[in-house]
Structure 1
Amino acid sequence: MVAIACSSGGLRAMRGILSALPREYPVPIIISQHRGDTQESYLPALLGGWTPLAVHDAQHGERLTPGTVHLCPAGRHIQVTPAGTLRITDGPRINFVKPSADLLFQSVADVFGERSAAVILTGNGWDGSMGARAIRGAGGVVIAQDEATSDYPDMPRAAVDLGKADLVLPLERIPFALMCLALGTEAAAAAMPPSGAKPGLNL
């Protein structure tokens, strides 16, 4: 299970990751992005045009599907359940944000444990840092985008300082890391699209 959090500057970062993953990526992906209501209608189509993966706004009760990007609807919270379905709620903001990556990451840690990965991308604030700690405590892997490639480095910096990220990577190397976690290093290198960044990753 891969859960991704981003805020300001997140569109470019999401494009960089999703465009480099192959159609056969064998793991479901959930994205929690702080976005305004005006982005509600076009974001799935926009991201879907950049990736071979299926992309859509998540629906309450739907099942997680490998090779699919489940986007948290704007102004909602998203969590996973032990039954492998999604819970969409309209609760209050958590630490001033909605959706809350911390809420998502905590649920992923509880359900998937060591089979989970959290990715914290560019954004303001510290959302995701406490949830990243939960992922790591459950045996999962936490990846933070490095400051050099982050338009707004607060969120990934907080993940490093508070959540203690396992890997701090430039944006272009994150897709290969996700492939390695899903398939192993050799299989990932063989499966990545020709444009995907492969070298120099130590897992």
Structure 2
Amino acid sequence: MNGTDILSSSGLRPEAFRGRVSAVVLGVSAGGVEALSFLLPLLPRTFRPALLIVLHIPPERPSLLVDIFAPRCALPVREAQDKEPVKPGTVYFAPPDYHLMVDTGPTLSLSVDEPVHYSRPSIDVLFESAAYIYGARLAAIILTGANEDGARGLAAVRAAGGVTLVQSPETAHMPVMPAAALAQGPADFVLPLAQLAQVLGELGAASKA
């Protein structure tokens, strides 16, 4: 499969979504470092949307995600800070033991509300808040993981008119999370990681002249 063979569930090619997406939210759990190590370095410096990521990590020790990914990525990579304005073309990781949300502005917001699906940060919390702020200008991605976090959030993005992408469960390191997301309803793109990377690149490109 190459880029010209990829179609959404509604029959649209990925380039049809160019210029529409202002932000991308991504949720991943077990197997996530490996998946992101493949995906993030493929994003070019010209990638336009902000990319907000929740990766389930243990809350009791500092995150090393910025240290791991910043040297590998063309885009700036940072840990999200409370009340920070969302900047285009920037990768934000949720800090350990805080929910990451999007607020009016758009700005980032951190919360110590109760865990969701035993997780803080929670994918659902990020996706639902971002869907409220961005609506149809949002894209959401669910990758490998071992629980159901993100299924409800992806449904919220779909209901708001956003673009939804899910790693095909049979290709995921842990299929539970993508399968749970798809059980809530269809996604625009259900693909292996390499093809999801192609679609994401199209979503993040500038509109055609």
Distance in 1 between residues matched to 2:207 and 2:177, nearest whole Å: 28
Identity rate of aligned residues, in percent?
36
Distance in 2 between residues matched to 1:169 and 1:184, nearest whole Å: 23
1:124 to 122, 135, 146: 146
Q: Map of 1:142-181 to 2, 5 A cutoff?
A: 142-181=164-203
Three-state SS of the structure 1 residue aligned to 2:86 is coil
Distance in 2 between residues matched to 1:39 and 1:11, nearest whole Å: 16
Matching residue of 1:193: none
Q: Map of 1:30-109 to 2, 5 A cutoff?
A: 30-37=52-59, 40-109=62-131
In the alignment, is the contact (CA less than 8 A) between 2:48 and 2:206 conserved in 1?
A: no
Unaligned runs of 5+ in 2: 1-22
2:51 to 5, 29, 32: 29
Distance in 1 between residues matched to 2:100 and 2:183, nearest whole Å: 25
In the alignment, is the contact (CA less than 8 A) between 2:144 and 2:176 conserved in 1?
A: yes
In the alignment, is the contact (CA less than 8 A) between 1:40 and 1:74 conserved in 2?
A: yes
In the alignment, is the contact (CA less than 8 A) between 2:46 and 2:205 conserved in 1?
A: no
> Which of 1 and 2 has higher RCO (CA within 8 Å, sep 6+)?
2
In the alignment, is the contact (CA less than 8 A) between 1:56 and 1:70 conserved in 2?
A: yes
Three-state SS of the structure 2 residue aligned to 1:65 is coil
1:141 to 163, 166, 173: 163
In the alignment, is the contact (CA less than 8 A) between 1:130 and 1:163 conserved in 2?
A: no
In the alignment, is the contact (CA less than 8 A) between 2:135 and 2:161 conserved in 1?
A: yes
Amino acid in structure 1 at the alignment position of 2:181: A
1:10 matched to 2:16? The reply is no
Unaligned runs of 5+ in 1: 188-203
Three-state SS of the structure 2 residue aligned to 1:103 is helix
TM-score (norm 1): 0.87
Which piece of structure 1 moves more, 176-185 or 134-143?
176-185
Three-state SS of the structure 2 residue aligned to 1:183 is coil
How far did residue 22 of structure 1 move?
0.3
Change (3 A) 1:12 1:186: farther
Count of paired positions: 187
1:147-203: CA deviation from partner (whole Å, max 9, x where unpaired): 23311111111111114222111101112211222337979xxxxxxxxxxxxxxxx
